[in-house]
Amino acid sequence: MKQVGIIGASGYTGAELLRLIAGHPNLELQVATGETQAGIPIRDLYPSLSAPYPTANFDSYAPEIVDGLDLVFCALPHGISQSIIPDIHQIVGHVVDLGSDYRLEDPTLYTEWYGMEHSSPELLSDFVYGLPELFRNDIKGASLIAATGCNAAAAIFALAPFVHSQAIESEAMIVDLITGVSGAGRPPKEHTSFCAVDGNITPYELLTHRHTPEIEQALTTFSGYSASVLFTPHLAPMDRGIIATCYGRTTQEMSTDEALHQLHTFYEDEPFFIVDERPPSTKSTLGANTVHLTARVDERTGMLVTISTLDNLVKGASGMAIQNANLALDLEETIGLPTIGLYP
């Protein structure tokens, strides 16, 4: 049994980690910190977790609390992991960071896209990018893993097969994405209140969304071809879920059947992927670590449309983190991860 901890367990991704760890046969939770909730029973904040954690409280963080653990998950807002991981990465076996602090290889991109200098750039090169379907061999046994962002994952999964095969122009891709409100985190915000969200769809961070360089970096690294995307996210009145509709101009004659065949061939050995002619929906991934995909080619305009859906809190965050942890700890990659969604 591997001993694990969560730093930042009181947020939505932390709560999802608590749920998944409770059902994982090889992971045992030892620490769950939550600074704003320290000392409060987990079941009081999340009654849904009462059965697996009837007496456990959220802890206050200190480096020594995780000393000797096999693996620690960091589920923290951007910028916080940078102040914590330098203190713990040598006293724990593995670290999986769910935040964006160590995803980008170039520290200057943090200044450009996040508006702040990176406080521990010397560690950036020690992290591997935690997207198992593209970088599985790098993740196996890795001590420092930066798990992929939810929006970035949805876009990358849809585009990677076609960028890799050079079926589309990789330097002129468009990503239109719709995401649920839980992606903004648990703390209340003006734009995520019920009255702001209900019956409303809003685009946000036009031309400046922080996942843009992450998408480009992952596609470029994986394919070897320079990738550039125009990324526009939209907030929708749903708890969770992401659907990414991506566009690229084809470089050769290609039919819809050929595009679907490319998707199917690319992901045929991946246990969490469903490629189908039917258009995917966010509901089909609810609560599961699955990705649903489809594709179309509009021969009239010479454009490819490729669409992916996933649950932003499972495959987009905590499920992705567990999948990375399984690889790092030399466990079966799929263990403890649900593939059956909730419906209705």
251 closest CA partner among 189, 316, 297, 200: 297
Tokens representing residue 205 in the block: 């961070």
The three-class DSSP label of residue 104 is coil
* Catalytically annotated residue among 74, 150, 195, 246: 150
Cα separations in angstroms, 85 against 28, 63, 103, 325: 21, 9, 14, 16
> At 123, is the secondary structure helix, strand, or coil?
helix
- Count Cβ atoms within 10 A of the Cβ of residue 256 and give its class: 0-12 exposed, 13-18 middle, 19 or more buried: middle
d(CA 227, CA 69): 38
Beta strands across the sheet bearing 71-74: 27-33, 2-7, 71-74, 94-97, 144-147, 128-130
Catalytic (active site) residue 195: no
Amino acid at 305: V
Query: Radius of gyration (Cα) for the chain, nearest Å?
Result: 19
Listed in sequence order, the residues at least 6 apart from 257 whose beta carbon sits closer than 8 Å to its beta carbon are: none
Active site residues: 150
